[in-house]
Structure 1
Amino acid sequence: MKDIYELLNYVEIDLKEYDDTDLNDIEIKKMKNRLHHYTKKRMYDLKKFVKNTCISFGVLFLICVVIFNVNPIFAREIPVLGNIIKNFEDRDNSEFDTYTSVINKSMEKNGIKVTLNEVAIDDNRFIIAATFKTSYKLYEKSFPTMNPTITVNGKCINGSGGKESKIVNDDTYTTVDTINIPDNIKIPDNMNVKISYADFNVVSLDSKNSRLINGPWQFNFTVSKKKITNKTKTIKISKHIKWHNIDTEIKQINITPLSTKISFDYNYNTSQKPIYRNPLDFIITDNRGSYLKWKGSELMPNKNTVNYADKDGMSFDLFSGMPKTSKKMYITPYYSSHDIRHLAPLKVTENFPIVLIQDDNNRLIVYDITRRDGKIYVKYRCEGNLGLDIQLGRLYLYDNNKEMLEEDDSEGNHENISNNKDTITEVFKDKNKGEIYIGTSDMSDIKVLEDSKFAIDLDNN
């Protein structure tokens, strides 16, 4: 039988069932409130979450995975124009062309055809792109849901992760699943990989009914990551950052062509006032001013926690890949209270640009707002010292009743923005064609620790 934590790793939680005042620092970080509504990924990260926190679930479904043998698939590591992972992850990073393995094999069962399109693997992440074709109409909020089980050389890979999904047409959608690899798990260069989708839980459009479609859909293939291993740097450091009652030690930075990982330990002094309960976060830039995008994290509890089983494990924050031309990496720690305060919105007129002041150092400059085909297109740029992960997505539109408009995730260019000089296009659903109001939030929830900023010379490491 599967390990209980492996099974819990894929249980879905409705955060609305929990009062956010009950969430501790680990829960908050894992659910990624720090990026507010900008982060569209649905996060799943419950293995260590369940081991280190006490949550009671009303109902827990444990799914037994049945092994279904198919002929092995041999992945081809070749560049592909417009590949799925690159489009989801970072279209500007041409390294995905080099290090993405193309599978493109399909399996059909019980009205669902699953195509395993691509995988990309480095020491930090395991990324899987798959396409699902169904025999019924899909709706934006009623995807059939199932997360893949990954086995490498006979061992199951568990870690934090996320899922992004996109509807292709009425009966087809594509997903990109990401499994973040903890430091204590070493992925070999040569791998026999098994990826399995066990069952699908299909939810009705009104979310009131669901039904289970039995699988499994399973794929076996061999792949090597030796090429990317040869381009990977592990920089050992010991950087201590003390801020109020939080003591953080950054231990190492792992840099691959596809991702960047900061590994660290932290603990709290709960007798020191004031008490801050969230770990520090990080802003990463290079010598050209480009920002790395946050991609995920995994937090170990305070190292002083009694009966903590994984004291040798390190926490980490995961970011996008460092550009090949970067000479230096700058790391700036900051603290987020997760208490985002919205500022009063302004009525949109024809007078552009609109300047939305967030604080003394940060603002959003809105250059254009256009209505067409039931959508509202907003073009703006971020200015300030906080980085795109913090500012991006803090622009809000409201209708004439001051109700916030929903974003249209199928359009816009969030994923392609890497610099404060870039123009951002954000798209909203036009609710009632009435007056539009625009707003942002202040940055009172963010404290940048400029005095603790430090640099790493990439050429000498």
Structure 2
Amino acid sequence: MKEIYSLLNDVETDIDSYCPQDLTDIEKTKLKEQIKKRIGKPEKNGKRKRYAAVAACVAVCVIALGTLNFSDLVYASAKSIAWQISNFLGIEKNLQDYTTVVGTSKTDKGYTIKLNEIILDENQLVVSSSVQSKQKLSEGGVIASADVYVNGKRVSVAAGGSSRALDDYTEESLLDYELEDIDTSSRLDIELVYTDILQGSKVTNGKWAFHFEADGSKLAEATVHKDLNNSFTLPDGSKLVLTEYTSNDLGQKIYFKVENWEYEKNPMYDLELEGKDDQGNKIIFDMSYFDGEEKTGRLNVRMIEGVVPESAKWVMLKPYAVKMPEKSGKMSHDFVEIGDSFTIKLSD
């Protein structure tokens, strides 16, 4: 099982609240010692354009939440039976119509990165890849960070995902890259460029570049959109507004915005929506992404709890929030209710 990494600032967290049965006490201790986060740092223009992303261990458990700046990555662990995206996500549906198989490898500085499959989803590039080292990997595994370019312009702003060791020399991962100001419902000319690999405390600089085309039109056409207008008050008095619900074969998402909130003044919050559908299935949405400058974000359905079934007629959810630490410190899981339950009508 892969520990969580970052490049800056330790954050303590309660592993038991996320993975109560999947890890031994020793594994939880090791994992807890490795959990870290990245705090958004000032840009050259003096602004703090802050991004938050959740690294969800989609096949095992949700591990941690971190604040990321551009392509800094937070990783969690996952079990899968192969590198196919559908297997990583635990999805039984055939994603072939939406998947681009790249299947090429690049080698530099003793590491080989193989790009397996990719899927263009709304505002995201989902990437399945593996890293192989000529030398045995350290216990902590390896992190390969990349930037996404479309038509020569860098468009990735944050990423999160999951990974696992295949053997002593190879690790595979599934990462969701957040793309800014890009229409992913069409064919795009994409370059994915890895520039450094972190193993333990050692950073190896190099270049592993992949060029390919991908088309997100079919998945976009198959995505259901429902407008929302549910408002709640956050603990600092700012306003959370849910704006849209979407659903496709990759899962469900709920988009939101915040009002009366400034990223240079107000605290950031971790958000959660918890409830059930009309069939009694437990449904949870976790905050996956937040753009502090645009004041918009997204919650993704928690895959380990199960997606919303196609046959569901409605979903009833209750909103919760907890303040995120502005600097390194203990991540709190003391979520508090910020409003009453609400219902999203899915079908007649």
Q: Answer whether TM exceeds 0.5 for this pair.
A: yes
**Alpha-carbon distance in structure 2 between the residues aligned to 1:454 and 1:99:** 32
Instruction: Name the residue aligned to 2:289.
Output: 298
Please state how far the C-alpha of 1:140 moved relative to its aligned partner.
2.5
Aligned residue number for residue 86 of structure 2: 86
Render the CA deviation track for 1:181-227: whole Å, top value 9, x for unaligned.
Answer: 45x54224112221121232333xxx4xx252x43111111221221
Counterpart residue identity of residue 15, structure 1: D
- The match for 2:101 is 102
Following TM superposition, where does structure 1 have runs of at least 4 consecutive aligned residues deviating by more than 6 angstroms? 26-29
Cα distance per residue 1:285-329 (max 9 Å; x no partner): 43223344556523344xxxxxxxx44x52222235543232223
Which structure: greater strand fraction?
Answer: 2
- Matching residue within 304, 317, 322 for 2:299: 317
Residues 176 and 255 (structure 1 numbering): CA distance in 2 closer, same or farther, change over 3 Å? same
Q: Which residue of 1 aligns with 2:52?
A: 30
Name the TM-score, length of structure 2 as normaliser. 0.68
Larger radius of gyration: 1
Match of 1:221 in 2: 212
The separation in 1 between residues aligned to 2:132 and 2:271, in whole angstroms, is 42
Match of 1:149 in 2: 147
Q: Which amino acid aligns with 1:159?
A: V
> Could you tell me which amino acid in structure 2 is paired with residue 332 of structure 1?
K
Instruction: Give the 5 Å matches for 1:390-405.
Output: none
Contact map agreement 2:52 2:289 (CA 8 A) in 1: yes
User: Could you tell me how far apart the structure 2 residues matched to 1:218 and 1:124 are?
Assistant: 21
Structure 1: distance between partners of 2:161 and 2:67: 8
2:244 corresponds, among 246, 252, 255, to 252
Where relative contact order (Cα < 8 A, 6+ residues apart) is larger, the structure is 2
In the TM superposition, what whole-angstrom CA distance separates every residue of 1:63-103 from its partner, at most 9, and x where no partner exists?
xxxxxxxxxxxxxxxxxx954322322x1442545533322
Between the aligned residues of both structures, percent identity stands at 19
The answer to whether residue 336 in structure 2 is matched with residue 447 in structure 1 is yes
Higher helix share: 1
For the pair 1:46 / 2:69, whether they are aligned, the reply is yes
Q: Is the counterpart of residue 456 in structure 1 residue 348 in structure 2? A: no
Give me the CA root mean square deviation.
Answer: 4.1
Paired residue type of 1:30: A
* Partner in structure 2 of residue 201 of structure 1: 198
2:321 aligned with 1:335, yes or no? yes
Seen in structure 2, the aligned counterparts of structure 1 residues 286 and 186 have a Cα distance that, compared at 3 Å, is farther
Alpha carbons of structure 1 residues 127 and 293: separation in structure 2 relative to 1, 3 Å: farther
Q: Does the 8 Å contact 1:85/1:118 carry over to 2?
A: yes
Q: What TM-score does the superposition give when structure 1 sets the normalisation length?
A: 0.53
Per the alignment, residue 222 of structure 2 pairs with 231
Distance in 1 (CA, whole Å) between partners of 2:150 and 2:53 is 27
Q: CA deviation at 1:171?
A: 1.0
Q: 1:327 to 1:102 in 2, by over 3 A?
A: farther
2:45 match: none
Structure 2 gap ranges (5+): 13-35, 41-47, 73-80, 326-331
Q: Is the 8 A contact 1:44 1:160 kept in 2?
A: no
Q: How far is the alpha carbon of 1:158 from its aligned partner?
A: 2.0
Secondary structure of the residue that 1:86 maps to in structure 2? helix
Residues 159 and 322 of structure 1, relative CA distance in 2, 3 Å threshold:
farther
The number of aligned residues is 288
The answer to whether the 8 Å contact 1:240/1:250 transfers is yes
Partner deviation per Cα, 1:82-128 (whole Å, 9 max, x = no partner): 54322322x14425455333221122233222211111221143111
